[in-house]
Structure 1
Amino acid sequence: MGADHTTHTSKIVGTVWGLLVLNTLGSAGAKTIIPLPRSLIQLVTMGALVAAFALALALNLRLRIRPSAYLFLLTLLLVPSVISSAHLESGFGALFRCARLALFVGTLWLVGRWWDGDLTFVRHHIRMYFAVLGSVAAGLVVSPGAAMPGLYGGRLVGALWPLTPPQIGQYAAVIIGLTVLLVLGRRTDRASAALVIVPSLVLLALTHTRTATLGLFIGLALAIGSLILTSAAARRFFSWAVLCAAVAAVALGSVLQAWFLRGQSKENFSSLTGRAKVWDALLAADRTTAEQVFGVGLGDKSFGGLPIDNSWLAVYNEQGLIGIALVAAVIIVLGGVALLRPPSLQRACAIFLISYCAIASYTEAGLGDASPYLLHLAVAASLLAAPAAATPVPAPEVPRRVPRWARRSEVP
């Protein structure tokens, strides 16, 4: 009975996690094969968040929560978000985004009860994002032209659900890294891992996403490096990876360079595909003291109609210097806890996720609002959580032996 209840609970928690993933897919992206109104997509994503909160609440009606520095810092991030959004400089949409962030963080608090330092949420994460990549692959098979449109330079996009190349690259890179670590830790077999890694690598290559590729390789190098002293498999993998990288650099140098540049000019590449111009304009804009401290309110992560594509500048614009301090504290706290833990597979997975998010934050926004990046860091926090203390089971009472004289009836 106890095992069945645990399995049932795990399935519900996995469903909650899948709904959170659906909520963070976003509503803007490429044109799909079947046109989907943006209002319909937003209804689906917000409905997924409400359903996730309701399921998590039903599963945790007694509101049992575990202490979490990560979730505490995210809760504090709501303060500058609400203060800045209340001025309505970004419109009523800012208050709506605050409510969404509050519901998102509240759901994480509810499921945080099951953060136990094991690999449960890693497996949930891989399954859910692999399902998302499955929809991308299906769109590529059904309509290659819609999946690799000229508008995006022939890069892979979501043809069934509006996903951009950076989104697809991010999901592919994260599940590739986590699956590789599970193989090294002997927590999955190679055949099952290959079914995840090989198609994900193909999709990552088709997106031509440089940030995701660099995040994958650097994050894996740091994660595997944390296992080298205690894992022979990690040492062998690291040696073979270095050898293969050296051979590829010599034999396929020109091909790799062409893939990396994506046909861009050196000027466009040096300005990070125009991102630097937006960043300079954002930093040069006049701001009041309140806007510098608290930001202008939660928006669509754009400035002057152009995407900011930098988590730190997006947080500065929307949640001010206080927001930057809190997001930096999230990265520092999680990274510090990971470094202080003894070598283990859980620690390696956490290091991979934290380093990936830190690297991607330079050219991608999302650390200050409900996003896949906050889910990646939530998985890292679950891996670094201390196992719940076992409830002591009272020893059964042993009946005392009654003396023979006491067994006699007192009635004469």
Structure 2
Amino acid sequence: MDRDRTTTPKTVGIVWGLLVLNTLGSTGAKTIVPLPRSLIQMVTMGALVAAFALALAVNLRLRLRAGAFMFLLTLLLVPSVISSAHLESGFGALFRCARLALFVGTLWLLSRWWDGGPTFVRHHIRMYFAVLGSVAAGLVISPGAALPELYGGRLVGALWPLTPPQIGQYAAVITGLTVLLVLGRRTDRAGAALVIVPSLVLLALTHTRTATLGLLIGLALAIGSLVLTSAAARRFFTWAVLCAAVAAVGFASPLQAWFLRGQSQEHFTSLTGRAKVWDALLAAPRTTTEQVLGVGLGDKSFGGLPIDNSWLAVYHEQGLTGVALVAAIIIVLGGVALLRPPSLSRACAIFLISYCAIASYTEAGLGDASPYLLHLAVAASLLAAPAPAAPLDARSPSTTHPVPARRSEVT
């Protein structure tokens, strides 16, 4: 589905795939072939180490592109390390700090190729589509394991332990990005359909409300940013509104049943029990240090239950300092996107930023190595200004090949 030729080394795509593998996690549904958690952790951590080594090998001169996103993300390491050093969350906190540092370091090495183009969007789509391929394969091989009663019949990973929210997130993100590539005429419709249709089917099978709302709202904002300059965006927006109106009238009952997932009104209003965990977390006594710096990087849980809110998870583990830094990341990326002139890159960035902001209310991950930070890294690569072209070598006026542009270097 590629129409653009890129000078980015193929190794960069491999590094991105390894980062995606690292952020898949090690807990989830029971798989067809039982996989020990220690084995999964070995694979995911090995992927991160390999990603850093390959990124370093392909960028030995340490040419980096400094930017607000990477600067703020690096600063996030400070409260993480300080709070984790107290070992309130055990030695695992220091291990997670090392993982986050390696993750951020790999992004720094890849920043050399952040030039405002769609290169990393394509890497993102390919890698997560491959993950969804494994989910679809598990569904075909063992429908019972892929749609277990334990998860209320929602789709899970039967080959790799993926939860419904994870699958829904991946499906929603690559669907939105692919739709935008079609509108920007960066891919053909047939190739896009091969990604969009199965992704939407898997999204529907997960019954993931957050991912669905993130996809719809994110696309609305992204396409809205193109309406004034793109006839294709205007046509798509018009048809989308008409289809939504028809669906709301003709399929109101099935859509409501899908959205409620058979839950009671009380269960639904408490956000599937999340609100109780949030209230307990906020009511727990904390020292001044814990309020400012948190208790250290953990498994995003409180009292043995998942927090499922990025802001509260960051507050718990990295304190108010971490919350301020994460908020600054979202605000800076969003502000830069709004200041850019209308373009496909800007629309893709708006989609990713808005999706992460929406998902942060019911999903954790903005304060640690996670798919959400990868989504924001792609947004940062789309908002990066292209490196200025260098003039021809003055000593060889007859040459027809320009001297490669120098990028900002940090050694």
How does the TM-score come out when normalised to structure 2?
0.95
What's the C-alpha RMSD, in Å, of the aligned pairs?
1.2
C-alpha distance in structure 2 between counterparts of 1:222 and 1:365, whole Å: 23
Match of 1:263, SS state, is: coil
User: What is the deviation of 1:394?
Assistant: 1.9
User: What is the deviation of 1:210?
Assistant: 0.1
Answering whether residue 334 of structure 2 is matched by residue 335 of structure 1, we say: yes
| Deviation by residue 1:115-151 (Cα, 9 ceiling, x = unmatched) | 0000000000000000000000000000000000000
Counterpart residue number, 1:120: 119
C-alpha distance in structure 1 between counterparts of 2:77 and 2:292, whole Å: 14
User: What is the deviation of 1:62?
Assistant: 1.0
C-alpha distance in structure 2 between counterparts of 1:324 and 1:344, whole Å: 31
C-alpha distance in structure 1 between counterparts of 2:358 and 2:365, whole Å: 12
After the TM superposition, which residues 188-203 of structure 1 pair with which residues of structure 2 at under 5 Å, given as runs?
188-203=187-202
Is the CA contact (8 Å cut-off) linking 2:6 and 2:119 kept in structure 1? Answer: no
Stretches of structure 2 lacking an aligned partner (at least 5 in a row): 399-411
After the TM superposition, which residues 359-398 of structure 1 pair with which residues of structure 2 at under 5 Å, given as runs?
359-396=358-395
Match of 1:111, SS state, is: helix
* Letter aligned with residue 225 of structure 1: G
C-alpha distance in structure 2 between counterparts of 1:67 and 1:163, whole Å: 34
Counterpart residue number, 1:204: 203
Match of 2:226, SS state, is: coil
Is the CA contact (8 Å cut-off) linking 2:84 and 2:93 kept in structure 1? Answer: yes
* Letter aligned with residue 101 of structure 2: A
After the TM superposition, which residues 399-410 of structure 1 pair with which residues of structure 2 at under 5 Å, given as runs?
none
Is the CA contact (8 Å cut-off) linking 2:333 and 2:380 kept in structure 1? Answer: yes
Answering whether residue 185 of structure 2 is matched by residue 186 of structure 1, we say: yes
TM-aligned CA distance change 1:398 to 1:276, over 3 Å: closer
Counterpart residue number, 1:300: 299
C-alpha distance in structure 1 between counterparts of 2:286 and 2:397, whole Å: 75
Stretches of structure 1 lacking an aligned partner (at least 5 in a row): 400-412
Runs of 4+ in 1 over 3 A off after TM superposition: 395-399
Counterpart residue number, 1:132: 131
Counterpart residue number, 1:408: none
| Deviation by residue 1:314-349 (Cα, 9 ceiling, x = unmatched) | 000000000000000000000000000000000000
Q: Higher mean Cα deviation, 389-398 or 142-151?
A: 389-398
Match of 1:268, SS state, is: helix
* Letter aligned with residue 180 of structure 2: L
After the TM superposition, which residues 21-60 of structure 1 pair with which residues of structure 2 at under 5 Å, given as runs?
21-60=20-59
Answering whether residue 274 of structure 2 is matched by residue 275 of structure 1, we say: yes
| Deviation by residue 1:227-249 (Cα, 9 ceiling, x = unmatched) | 00000000000000000000000
Is the CA contact (8 Å cut-off) linking 2:172 and 2:203 kept in structure 1? Answer: yes
* Letter aligned with residue 230 of structure 1: T
| Bigger Cα Rg | 1
Counterpart residue number, 1:62: 61
User: What is the deviation of 1:397?
Assistant: 5.4
Counterpart residue number, 2:162: 163
After the TM superposition, which residues 209-358 of structure 1 pair with which residues of structure 2 at under 5 Å, given as runs?
209-358=208-357
User: What is the deviation of 1:266?
Assistant: 0.1
Counterpart residue number, 1:148: 147
User: What is the deviation of 1:396?
Assistant: 5.0
| Deviation by residue 1:158-217 (Cα, 9 ceiling, x = unmatched) | 000000000000000000000000000000000000000000000000000000000000
User: How many residues are matched?
Assistant: 394
Match of 1:242, SS state, is: helix
* Letter aligned with residue 90 of structure 2: G
C-alpha distance in structure 1 between counterparts of 2:32 and 2:86, whole Å: 40
User: What is the deviation of 1:10?
Assistant: 2.4
User: What is the deviation of 1:390?
Assistant: 1.4
Counterpart residue number, 1:85: 84
